[in-house]
Chain A
């Protein structure tokens, strides 16, 4: 009986595990190693604003894992991988032999290296434990400071406001969301935030976080101190790769994988944040530390581990955040300096579109608009479809140059739906969640 080892119980690992059970022809043995009980990081902001119970965040209960016939090593971390012997050693010394294995150990939050960053009242928001910690410390009227104005910070912005806290965002870069939108989009979002009572301080370098009578005092390189109750550091993430030292896996910025999600060692796969795979738009190796990439990587790796020959076209970089009922989304190579860009902005709504071109094809897009504007939501999906399909928009390019908001007729009339309909990730219709068969 084939022994599969899945290391990491996040999105990539869980998708792989489920896909192995969906695809395998004969019963295999699966072992899951996960430092935490499997849960979805994506939904932690909704746990933070108390719109869902903690139980809602878990992606596979013990009962489901038992039904899938998965052996578990929960609360244990992988400590070393001997790819020659085919053995993974855990942090308690347990040795697990495998026939093939998936490395899906994800990322961890990193804090800016300033004195006091590890002190009391300073939090990260990445794991469920950290979410519990933040939730326990925010009360109506609390003053919360978010250090770092990136995607992660913005996913919890609404939640902090929903808890009745006062919010200040501090960013070292000259503008907010530096890796998700361009300066025009950032300016619109920043104005929107101020209209909604959020203080924003950009170009601000925190030099020290001090305890002052149970509250936090932030000192800056220039600029006034900020006194607050809770500090959340959203200053970046790093991939969890240290434990693979000596494994012999080829690592660049992440574990280098081929179109089957296979590493440089034939029976070791990698998926999600730790994997450096193909970017759908550029064709170049890339790390996309986002939920959809983890899902797709996990499913393709799982299918291959189950004996299928599944190839992957590559992952599409994409993000969406809602900022006080303003949707902000980006797709593909939206920051490509070599691309031709068409933009249109309506400051009063606000609304913004940026279309990026390589020849007649859309290779990236930025979109910003109110959540209540139905056409914004429709355009968000259609822009994704245009970038994903790589459809030629030759007939529409000149029209879109003058009318970047007119995405819908271009999408429909360029028969994008016909291009997209035959595409499936695994060469078959997807199964609904909860219908995964127990292995034969």
Chain B
């Protein structure tokens, strides 16, 4: 019992993910600044922002739904903490895996987006409502190809456990380098992850130049800090999810640590480069992109996996 609480709060759970997530978002800001020929903020900038927001006043706007407005940020935070906790527990010890844990992970990774929908729609602001409706459409768009892509390698090995896919990759090598179906699925899952992190080109819900901050517009103080923290933690947890499924998982014995960190950094830098070199799509373009391009592509990958490639 005490061990479980420790896992949840300190090591693979909340504290570890939060600290690494905030550091990783600093990497994002710094690389963005270097691409734009700026100097960029110091490494502790995101921690300072977080603590400053904790010290500010919380305002609940008149006409807002109090319960939804106050509890939405907590819901998102719990979702991303659980995703990170389950992923790291399985990477540390694949035997802990249980039947159908991939489905649990996919469900929990929607929670932060749902939290944005609930928080934005209960904030009684027209721009928040526009942002919320765009967020809902984006979930509808990216969820279908994402689930198809995540299930492709699982169909290949015929199991619904994260633990068995990690042990399979330890024995047979990465899914990505050995199976054509997984190559296609990784491309699809990577682009869907960009939409789940709401980074450019898919930052349509909070498009700063059109609708200010979208669903976050009425949030202030600690509640905004929780939303910022959730986004930082997602930036750490989602690439680890892809690495676990497609790129052989994270190992921690000897030199494998460095190899795991390199895998994570490559994915992170790819995300940041895509973010900095693309314009924002409209919501209908994003919907068309995911439903008419990514979904057929993920279907092809799925069929290839069924055939056995």
* A and B: interacting chains: no
